[in-house]
Amino acid sequence: MRLPKPLEAIIIGMILFVAIIIFWEGVRRLVLGYPPAGSPEDTAAWVMENNKHPDLCFKMGALSIPFPAPLYSKMGPSTESNRKLCVFLIAQKMKDPRICELLLPGEYGLACISDLWPEVLPEDGCGWDVSNPKIFQCRHIGGPLRKSAICNDFSDNVKQFSACISYTASRDKSLEQCKNIPDADIRLFCQIKMKAWMDYPELRDSFYFGKQIPSDNP
């Protein structure tokens, strides 16, 4: 039994539409090299699994057929937010602050860099003594609290010594001091953060550069 012509035309149209979507998605991925459609997590995983450059996150959703975008375009994060999250996820997974530079200038880029500090110093808690900001202190997991105003006093522990120099460089806003850090991971962290300070003056009032948040208390 032959279908009515209007219904037949609708079915043929739907088949052609699906075929076009499949064809165009293939063009996007295989010819243009764009990431497949998906969430920021999916795109980040695709980039890493295929050894692609993280900047492909910024092509996430590009040239996609918008259907059925009108149904959900006003729901959830924006495309720009999803693209930035994709970069952020890759940086955290790869533990590489250089990837965070793709998010600069912007607070999100600084947050990306700062969130990697626990990765470069995973077993030591270090920072300035609140009661005396000139004193640097560190404690290894299960170890004693060590304090000193001189970084060389931590030289028997490469991680703590490197952390002290990094904190000092951050306090003095000195990219040059980062070069003296023996631990490669902490040195890279320091260099990327101080480079951001030098390159983006508009970010210097950021919390991530030590800007104090005003208190509500008088």
Q: What is the pLDDT of residue 211?
A: 58
Q: What is the pLDDT of residue 38?
A: 80
Q: What is the pLDDT of residue 60?
A: 79
Q: What is the pLDDT of residue 37?
A: 72
Q: What is the pLDDT of residue 98?
A: 96
pTM of the complete model: 0.76
Q: Print the SS3 string covering the chain.
A: CCCCHHHHHHHHHHHHHHHHHHHHHHHHHHHCCCCCCCCHHHHHHHHHHCCCCHHHHHHCCCCCCCCCHHHHCCCCCCHHHHHHHHHHHHHHHHCCHHHHHHHCCCHHHHHHHHCCHHHHCCCEEEEEECCEEEEEEEEECCCCEEEECCHHHHCCCHHHHHHHHHHHHHHHCCHHHHCCCCCHHHHHHHHHHHHHHHHCHHHCCCHHHCCCCCCCCC
Q: What is the pLDDT of residue 79?
A: 83
Low-confidence ranges of the chain (pLDDT < 70): 1-13, 15-33, 61-76, 211-218
Q: What is the pLDDT of residue 59?
A: 84
